[in-house]
Amino acid sequence: MEYNFSDRVKDLGGNAIREIFKLLADPSVISFAGGFPTKTTLPTQLIATTTSELMSSSEAENILQYGSTEGYTPLRLTAIDYVRRYGINDINIDNTLIISGGQQGIDLTFKTFVNKGDVVLVEDPTYLAVLHILKTYEATAIGVDSGNDGLDLADLESKMIMHKPKVLYVVPTFSNPTGRTYSIAKRKAIYELAVKYNVIILEDDPYSELRFSGERVPSIKSFDKTGNVIYITSFSKTLAPGLRTGIAIGDPEVIRKMTIGKQATDVHTSSLSQAIINNFLSKSLMDARVSELIPLYLEKKNAMMSAIEKYMPKEFTYTNPDGGLFIFGEFDESLGINTMKLFPEVAAHKVAYVSGHSFFASEDKFNTLRLNYSNASLDQIDSGMKKLGDFFKKIIANK
Ligand X SMILES: Cc1ncc(COP(=O)(O)O)c(C=O)c1O
Interface residues toward ligand X, by CB under 6 A = 35, 101-103, 127, 171, 176, 204, 206, 234, 236, 241, 246
Alpha helices in the chain (DSSP H): 7-10, 16-23, 44-55, 60-64, 73-82, 102-113, 128-136, 153-163, 184-196, 252-266, 271-282, 286-311, 343-348, 378-397
Residue with Cβ nearer ligand X (91 or 354): 354
Smallest gap from residue 361 Cβ to ligand X (A): 14
Smallest gap from residue 356 Cβ to ligand X (A): 15
Smallest gap from residue 217 Cβ to ligand X (A): 16
| Burial environment of residue 115 by CB neighbours within 10 A (0 to 12, 13 to 18, 19 or more) | exposed
CA distances from 261 to 35, 138, 282 (A): 27, 17, 28
Smallest gap from residue 16 Cβ to ligand X (A): 13
Residue with Cβ nearer ligand X (35 or 389): 35
Residue with Cβ nearer ligand X (241 or 250): 241
- With CB atoms as reference, the residue minimizing the distance to ligand X is 101
* Contact residues for 228 (Cβ-Cβ < 8 A; gap 6+): 191, 194, 195, 199, 200, 201
Smallest gap from residue 162 Cβ to ligand X (A): 26
Gap between the Cα atoms of 200 and 248, Å rounded: 14
Residue with Cβ nearer ligand X (246 or 384): 246
SS3 content of the chain, % helix, strand, coil (to 5): 45, 15, 40
Residue with Cβ nearer ligand X (194 or 248): 248
Which of 354, 299, 298, 343 lies closest to 324 in space, CA to CA? Answer: 298
Residue with Cβ nearer ligand X (76 or 370): 370
Smallest gap from residue 176 Cβ to ligand X (A): 4
